[in-house]
């Protein structure tokens, strides 16, 4: 076997010289280099923004969605939505291990959840077996390649596979909340009813403590009730996050002029940047975990309203994020019950 680039650039077809995530097309030939890992794929967890876009374009028609997903992977060699640019992650079983792959503890047959995006992962789909419209998961027969630098987590034995996949897909979000939120902070989670939002709200409640305040903004009345029932926020606001002044006024009713120390944006639709910015106090932090975010709109919008806030690009990776997120599932019976209902 020949050794490939640790970052996978040897698989880039177009344009040459780019990284696999930025490439328009990569080589998805399922013959591994000696520092790669070959996986038999069982399930794709497609990024929420990407899945929502595909679902809307196809009018929730499963057959049309099947064609569209196959076309994307056929054209690009990876599952990267050309509109959103985002991917997702997968679970699969180890089929072959390159002789120079760094993790010598792995064995053929081990089941893994990849912690790097499908937007850079060589993927080949033989058959799409099922598309679940409610939870963004797609069951397939197929194979994928993991590069030497690719992150992954061996699936735990005490948590169902699809539940673990769903949670690990957004593991970066609660890990960043743990870093950003301090005791006594006022925190707002925009889109708190989805899986990343629920995990973020839980971690925010832990970090902010008894002297803090956690606010969740939700468009869905059902999701808003879910947050209240699960006791994951002190206040829940039902509002459309694409209407920033409306959101600002409703948050102001709770916080007064003080606004929020930390705002976490988890929504899967566009044009929510200004709601996040307006409700953040000067010198506060906005964390954009959403892949629907336009950072041009965020940067120029903040400038336009004279807001001096720190804006952080959502990074799906944070050290220890997998252990933290699986720990939340183990600690919180209510979250585990919800995730089992939605994903198992």
Could you tell me what percent of the chain has a pLDDT over 70?
100
What confidence tier does 305 reach under pLDDT thresholds 50, 70, 90? very high
Query: What is the number of H-type helices and E-type strands within the chain?
Result: 11, 14
pLDDT of res. 261: 98
Q: Region of 117 please: left (phi>0), alpha (psi -120 to 50) or beta.
A: beta
pTM value? 0.87
Mean pLDDT over 191-217 rounds to: 95
> What are the backbone angles phi and psi of residue 106, rounded to the nearest 5°?
-70, 150
Rg (CA), the chain: 20
**Span 52-101, pLDDT tens digits:** 999 999 999 999 999 999 999 999 999 999 999 999 999 999 999 999 99
Enumerate the H helices of 142-219 as residue ranges.
161-169, 172-180, 195-208
Per the structure block, which two tokens stand in for 87? 């991917």
Report whether pLDDT(167) > 80: yes
Mean pLDDT over 285-300 rounds to: 92
pLDDT of res. 314: 87
Report whether pLDDT(109) > 80: yes
Task: Calculate the alpha carbon distances from 110 to 29, 40, 95, 115, 198 in Å.
Answer: 22, 10, 8, 15, 29
Mean pLDDT over 20-29 rounds to: 97
Which range (226-235, 286-295, 325-334) has the least confidence? Answer: 286-295
Q: Which domains does the chain have, with CATH numbers?
A: 9-155 (no CATH), 172-343 (3.40.50.720)
Residue 80 contacts residue 47 (beta carbons within 8 Å):
no
Report whether pLDDT(117) > 90: yes
Task: For the chain, give percent helix, strand, coil, nearest 5.
Answer: 35, 25, 40
């Amino acid at each position: 076997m020949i050794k490939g680039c640790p970052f996978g650039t040897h698989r880039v077809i177009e344009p040459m010289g780019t990284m696999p995530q930025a490439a328009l097309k990569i080589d998805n030939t399922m013959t591994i280099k000696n520092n790669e890992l070959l996986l038999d794929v069982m399930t794709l967890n497609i990024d929420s923004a990407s899945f929502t876009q595909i679902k809307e374009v196809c009018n929730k028609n499963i057959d049309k969605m099947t064609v569209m997903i196959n076309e994307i992977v056929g054209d690009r060699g990876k599952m990267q939505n050309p509109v959103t640019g985002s991917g997702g992650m997968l679970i699969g079983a180890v089929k072959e291990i390159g002789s120079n792959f760094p993790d010598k503890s792995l064995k053929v047959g081990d089941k893994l959840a990849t912690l790097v995006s499908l937007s850079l992962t060589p993927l080949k789909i033989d058959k799409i077996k099922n598309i679940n419209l409610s939870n963004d998961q797609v069951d397939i027969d197929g194979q994928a390649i993991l590069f030497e630098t690719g992150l992954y987590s061996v699936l735990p034995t005490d948590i169902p596979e699809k539940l673990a996949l769903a949670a690990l897909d957004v593991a970066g979000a609660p890990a960043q909340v743990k870093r950003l939120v301090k005791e006594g902070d006022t925190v707002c989670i925009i889109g708190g009813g989805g899986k990343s939002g629920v995990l973020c709200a839980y971690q925010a409640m832990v970090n902010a403590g008894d002297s803090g305040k956690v606010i969740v903004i939700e468009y869905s009345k059902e999701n808003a009730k879910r947050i209240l029932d699960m006791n994951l926020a002190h206040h829940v606001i039902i509002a459309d996050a694409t209407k920033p002044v409306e959101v600002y006024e409703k948050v102001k009713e709770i916080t007064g002029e003080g606004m929020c120390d930390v705002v976490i944006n988890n929504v899967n639709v566009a044009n929510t940047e200004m709601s996040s910015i307006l409700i953040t106090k000067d010198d506060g932090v906005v964390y954009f975990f959403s892949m629907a975010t336009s950072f041009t709109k965020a940067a120029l919008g903040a400038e336009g309203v004279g807001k001096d806030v720190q804006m952080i690009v959502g990074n799906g990776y944070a050290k220890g994020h997998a252990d933290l997120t699986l720990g939340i599932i183990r600690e919180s019976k209510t979250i585990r019950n919800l995730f089992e209902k939605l994903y198992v």
